[in-house]
Amino acid sequence: MTSAAWLRERDARAVLLALLAILVGIAVTPSARLPILAVLLIVIAVAGHVSVGPVLRRSAMVLPFALFLALAAIPARGWEMAAVLAGRAWISALYVVVAVESATAPRLFSALARLGCPQPLVTVLQFVYRFVSVLAGVASNIRAAALARGVQRAGRRRMFGVAAGTIAVLFARALGRATRIHQAMVARGYRGQIPSPMRERMRVADGLLIIGAVALVLTIRTQ
Amino acid sequence: MHIPDGFLSTPVWATLNAASLPAVGLMARRARVHEEDSRIPLLGTLGAFVFAAQMVNFPVGAGTSGHLVGGTLLACTLGPASAGLVMTAVLVVQAFLFQDGGVLALGANVVSMAVLGVLAGYLPYQLWGGGRGRRVAIFLGGTFSVLTSAAAALAFLFLSGITLPPALMRLPLALFLVTGLLEGLITVLVIEAIERIDPNWIRQPDRSRTPAVAFLGVAALVLACGGFAVASSYPDGLTRLGSELGLAERAVALFSTPLADYQATFPGAEWLQRIAAGIAGLSAAFLLCMAAGRLLAARKRA
């Protein structure tokens, strides 16, 4: 078995718990030892055959706000500390992206339920994830239709009203879609819980992943 | 304002994560009790709607645009508990898939946006949303929702030792005020547009609950946050007597607490330290009273 397959076959609960351990490690590790966690991330990404480009692109989404906060912290904490704050935010985001790439979002959400997260929240999460691109497409279509009717030539006040009307229509379509989705789900045997995409079982390797992450963080923290 | 990982100190993120767990549990329980089974997919679809609605930008001026945040709109359509649950799901998806907010900072973001933001957005609607001042109530809800979330996020950063100099502080404060006012305005317009499509989609304020409790809650919060500004600087009678008899000098503090002398011990302005101590004290008193009340009610039932 390749290292990439090994990482992808891990139970999503183990991935989540190992991720949490590493994130806590990033938060509590002295700044001088942060590069160790960055190097470990590179090793995991290479071993897991994770595409570097998308990971960097997605993790960079944390940077605008993190850099703003870091810049604002310069007068009180100095340049060096500000750089450490932004660095911690970015390394944390990189680990989250690699974990989501390895385990996939639906598996991670199912893992949340199996770790004790309330079922209504997990169901809502799964629906949000499933329909965010669908409704984004609907919003895009409504916007294209408004532009085709020359709405961009309207004044700012009118544009405000158009935006409100667009959101109201989007709301109506979301409600209509939710009703149809529920009817289809009931017809397919939905009883209030979405089944997990695959049946997962904690194995020895999953335990080792969690223990390894915790041990690594403790070693870096205490040395 | 989604706080990323790495900016909050360990005691702050750990406390807020611990505080958010029962809050999310309570919201999930209420959503399960109040919503039919068929409404859970609706909640998820409306979570996706919030994402999509945030793509609809409107011009703000100076070449910039704004978008709906959605907490108050969800609270007015679903009720505060379900709206809080949907906002929590949106925050989880944003943290894991869009790197908008941290995973360890999720508790802080849930408390500021899904709990405090939604409650602040719903409170004016609950109090005045049934009468003539309905539009004003929705507008105030939208504005308060953004301002409360932003103030909470700034307070969490201050508690973590990230202080902004006063000159720099004006920029985010002005930005949040403009964003809040726009949120209020767009929420009013969207709710009116939705009501033109189907008035039943907007939930009416719950008239069965007396507003007295909400009024008392708001009054307590205002007093805890701003009471120090009008309070006398003289000591109370007992402290004065103690100092005149020379007892004050002999007093020994057995242990120190982070809220000693009604002032939180974190770097920053004195008024912020006093407000933080006020809110912490108020929350502690509320939680203790609620726990005692529940215990007494459980004994009575038994």
Hey, are the CB atoms on B37 and A192 less than 8 Å from each other? yes
Q: Which residues sit opposite B64 in a β-bridge?
A: B61
Contact list, B25 vs chain A (CB under 8 Å): 118
Read off the tokens for A17. 């718990």
- Among B5, B32, B48, the residue with its CB nearest the CB of A127 is B48
Is pLDDT at A155 greater than 80 in this prediction?
no
Q: Which of the residue ranges A91-100, B103-112, B119-128, B210-219 would you say has the lowest mean pLDDT?
A: B210-219
**Percent of chain A predicted with pLDDT > 90:** 14
Residues contacting A124, CB < 8 A, separation 6+: B40, B43, B44, B47, B85, B86, B89
Torsion angles phi and psi, residue B66, rounded to 5 = -125, 175
Contact list, A17 vs chain B (CB under 8 Å): none
Could you write out the three-class secondary structure of B209-252?
A: CCHHHHHHHHHHHHHHHHHHHHCCCCCCHHHHHHHHCCHHHHCC
Run of H or E including B66? strand B64-66
Residues contacting A44, CB < 8 A, separation 6+: A7, A50, A98
Contact list, B103 vs chain A (CB under 8 Å): 19-20, 23, 92, 96
Q: What pLDDT score does B284 carry?
A: 78
- Closest by Cα among A116, A128, A210 to B21: A116
B2-13 pLDDT per residue, tens = 899 988 988 899
Residue A155, min C-alpha distance to chain B (Å): 10
CA distance A77 to B283: 30
B35-91 pLDDT per residue, tens = 666 667 788 888 899 888 887 777 666 566 667 888 999 999 988 999 999 999 999
Torsion angles phi and psi, residue B36, rounded to 5 = -75, 165
Residues contacting B297, CB < 8 A, separation 6+: none
Residue of A nearest to B69 (CA): A167
Residues contacting A31, CB < 8 A, separation 6+: A81, A84, A87
Read off the tokens for A115. 């770790």
Highest mean pLDDT among B175-179, B189-193, B220-224: B189-193
Is pLDDT at B178 greater than 90 in this prediction?
no
Instruction: Check: CB of residue B34 under 8 Å from CB of residue B81.
Output: yes
Mapping DSSP to helix (H, G, I), strand (E, B) and coil, where does residue B61 land? strand
- Among B55, B96, B99, the residue with its CB nearest the CB of A108 is B96
Q: Is A49 left (phi over 0), alpha (psi -120 to 50) or beta?
A: left
Is pLDDT at A124 greater than 60 in this prediction?
yes
Residues contacting A52, CB < 8 A, separation 6+: A45
Mapping DSSP to helix (H, G, I), strand (E, B) and coil, where does residue B32 land? helix
What is this model's ipTM? 0.89
Q: What pLDDT score does B37 carry?
A: 63
**Percent of chain B predicted with pLDDT > 90:** 27
